Structure formats: structure tokens, C-alpha cells
Structure 1
Amino acid sequence: MSRTESVDKGHGRIEVRQYRLSTDIDWLRELHPEWKNLGSIVAIDSERLIGDTTT
């Protein structure tokens, strides 16, 4: 699994994004045979901080 993170600042906020990529998805192809050509899956988590508020 590959992971990376990006941080953007501007307009009074901070945005943090975490990206995860996996090519170890045989289990997913077994569950969904119609996805036989699927090569990878990606997940992105995003967090935005404005002052004391996190969303």
C-alpha cells in the first residue's frame, strides 16, 4: 500500500488530505467478478481546519 499526504493553507484554513493506494485487491475482484480489469483502489481522507473547528 502506498500512502502520501498533502497540506494546503489559504483563506484562513488548513486542509490536510491523506491518500492511500492499494493494488492488492484480489479479494475485491473475487467479490465483484464483473470488475476483472480493476487494477487498484484509492481512498482519500480530507480534513479542514478553520480556527478551532475541524470538519
Structure 2
Amino acid sequence: MEEIIFSRGRRSGVKTVGMRYGRGKVKEGDEIVITEMEEDGNMMGWEEGGKGSGGRLK
């Protein structure tokens, strides 16, 4: 599947991708792994995507 997302900026784009991917692909019990170097603003989308699907951020 290929998709193009247009956003206002990087942070907005990363948040959108995290939320949409998390809600569509992450299942209960799944872990979303990110690095310690990730900015707080970028983690928000992954957190929201994981909450809706039962996944958790690690």
C-alpha cells in the first residue's frame, strides 16, 4: 500500500502517521518501540494510536 500525506510540518505529519498507523495496524498487546532520542511532540501520535488499539508505547 502506498499513501502520501501532506501536512503543515514534520511534527504534524509524524503525529498523523502514528495515530493512523496505530489505529489501523496495532493490536492489543502489541508494543510500539521508539528511541530515547525521540522528541515529546513526535511521541504523542504513537501514544494516541496505541491507546485506541490496546497497544503500548515502549
Structure 1 length as normaliser, TM-score? 0.23
More strand by share: 1
More helix by share: 2
Structure 2 length as normaliser, TM-score? 0.22
Which has the greater radius of gyration? 1
